[in-house]
Each structure stands twice: as C-alpha cells, then as structure tokens.
C-alpha cells in the first residue's frame, strides 16, 4: 500500500486516515457541501488539511477529485501523458521491438534526409524519436465504457499509472453501485495499493466507514 494519507478539518477532534478503500459519510448536508467546496478549492493554506504519514502536505496537483463520473474525461492531458510515458517504457524494455523501431526510424530519417538534400530549398530536420511517433499517432485510452461501473474501473486503472498523484477522491459516487460491484472495486484498490476516498451523504452497506453525524461527532464503524 502507498503511504497512508490523513484528512483533517477544524471541526474534527482527530484526523481521518485514508489508506486504500476509505469511506467517509457526512450526514449533515451543510457540512457535506462545505467539505466538497473545500476539496475543490484545496490548496496548502486551506482549512482542509491533507498530509502523509511523514507529515508532508499533499499538494493540490497530487489529488484527483471526481463528482461527475460520467463527465470525467479519461483522456485528460495528465492521463494521456502518463499512458504515453508507460508505453515508451514498455518499448524500451523490449530490446527486440526497440531495435526494430530504431531500424525503421533510421530508414525513415534516411529517406527524408535524401529528399531534403535534393530539394532546391535549404531544408533541415530534427532527429526522429520513438516518443515523437507515439505523440504523432495520438496514442490515448480507448474509452468505451457503457456503464458507470466500467467508467469507474477505467478511472482506477488509469490512476495507478499517475505516479505523481497520491489521492483519488470520489464524491457521492458509491451509492450508484451494488455491494457486489463495490466488493470488486475495493479489491482492485487494495490489490493495486492506491488511496481512494469515497465521500458519501449516507452509509454504504456494511463496509468499515467513518461517519460524521449531525452533531459533528466522528464515529468509526469498524
């Protein structure tokens, strides 16, 4: 499991640990609304505090927040960059494929170079690299999810590739899924050692969960 993260607010007597699949139930509508606003406006000087086990503050750029699951773009710039970087690493690790690509790039460069020399214009060109080919081919995630369950799994699968992201937060999302689906989601999260916080307005089945009740008392339902 990655480093656990803790969430704290002025109204809490103690911080809430976020490690793996974590549920936070906020029963008071006004507090829930305020918390969501703090999350979306989160910065290192806000009332909302997020920090790791070494007391290092989690940067806003290290979080991903999703409240509109269907509207979330799988192919955001950060996701596409991470996917292309992972593909490049795979190609570099496979010596046979890398040698084939290097040979093809050399041949393409040679052909274009010859044409540039024969041109009446004074033409020049840059070295052709594998990462430029990946970018030119517009490599991206083929997102074809038909259900919310598929969509959430796509998000989780992509999130694990974003090494600089430390915390994924879903707001009012768990209620869309059956207990069986949440079991599969929980298993995936824990197997892949990622920290995911689900913030919900009501209890979610019989999972271990933190509940901030109407009297602002934090209850551990474990």
Paired tokens of 169: 């937060």
pLDDT of residue 1: 52
Sheet with 218-221: list strands edge to edge: 63-66, 167-171, 196-200, 21-26, 209-212, 218-221
Residue 217 to residue 20: CA distance in whole angstroms? 23
Q: What is the pLDDT of residues 120-176, one digit of tens each?
A: 788 887 888 888 888 888 888 887 777 899 999 989 988 888 778 899 999 999 989
The reply to whether 55 and 89 lie within a common domain is no
Number of domains in the chain: 2
The reply to whether 70 and 149 lie within a common domain is yes
Q: What is the pLDDT of residues 38-53, one digit of tens each?
A: 999 999 788 999 999 8
pLDDT: which is higher, 170 or 79: 170
**Could you tell me which of 164, 160, 187, 155 has the C-alpha nearest to residue 67?**
155
Highest mean pLDDT among 76-80, 121-125, 204-208: 204-208
The reply to whether 103 and 161 lie within a common domain is no
CATH number of the domain bearing residue 168: 3.40.50.11940
pLDDT of residue 2: 63
Q: What is the pLDDT of residues 23-35, one digit of tens each?
A: 999 999 999 999 9
The reply to whether 92 and 198 lie within a common domain is no
Which of 136, 163, 185 represents a domain boundary (last residue)? 136
Burial of 61 (0-12, 13-18, 19+ CB in 10 A): exposed
The reply to whether 173 and 67 lie within a common domain is yes
The reply to whether 181 and 200 lie within a common domain is yes
pLDDT range class, residue 11, cuts 50, 70, 90: confident
Looking at the chain, the whole-number percentage of residues with pLDDT higher than 70 is 99
**pLDDT over threshold 70, residue 215:** yes
pLDDT of residue 16: 94
The reply to whether 151 and 213 lie within a common domain is yes
The pTM of this model reads: 0.80
pLDDT range class, residue 19, cuts 50, 70, 90: very high
The reply to whether 52 and 95 lie within a common domain is no
Residue 66 to residue 72: CA distance in whole angstroms? 7
Helix boundaries (H) for 15-76: 29-40
**pLDDT over threshold 70, residue 114:** yes
CA-based torsion, 36, 38, 42, 47: positive or negative: negative
Q: What is the pLDDT of residues 156-165, one digit of tens each?
A: 988 888 778 8
The reply to whether 67 and 83 lie within a common domain is no
Range of the domain at 130: 79-136
Contact predicate 202/27, CB 8 Å: yes
């Amino acid at each position: 499991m990655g480093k656990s993260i803790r969430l704290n607010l002025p109204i809490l007597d103690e911080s809430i640990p976020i490690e793996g699949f974590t549920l936070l139930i906020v029963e008071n509508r006004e507090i829930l609304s305020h918390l969501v606003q703090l999350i979306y406006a989160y910065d290192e000087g806000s009332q909302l505090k997020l920090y790791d086990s070494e007391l290092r503050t989690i940067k806003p750029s290290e979080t991903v927040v999703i409240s509109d699951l269907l509207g979330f773009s799988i192919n955001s710039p950060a996701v596409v960059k991470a996917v292309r970087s992972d593909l490049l690493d795979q190609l570099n690790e496979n010596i046979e494929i890398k040698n084939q690509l290097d040979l093809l790039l050399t041949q393409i460069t040679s052909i274009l170079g010859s044409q540039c020399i024969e041109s009446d214009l004074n033409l020049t060109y840059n070295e052709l690299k594998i990462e430029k080919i990946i970018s030119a081919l517009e490599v991206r995630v083929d997102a074809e999810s038909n259900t919310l369950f598929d969509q959430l799994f796509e998000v989780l699968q992509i999130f694990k590739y974003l090494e600089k992201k430390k915390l994924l937060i879903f707001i009012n999302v768990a209620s869309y899924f059956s207990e069986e689906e949440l079991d599969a989601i929980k298993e995936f999260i824990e197997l892949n050692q990622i920290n995911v916080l689900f913030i919900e307005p009501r209890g979610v089945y019989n999972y271990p969960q933190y509940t901030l009740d109407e009297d602002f008392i934090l209850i551990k339902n474990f």
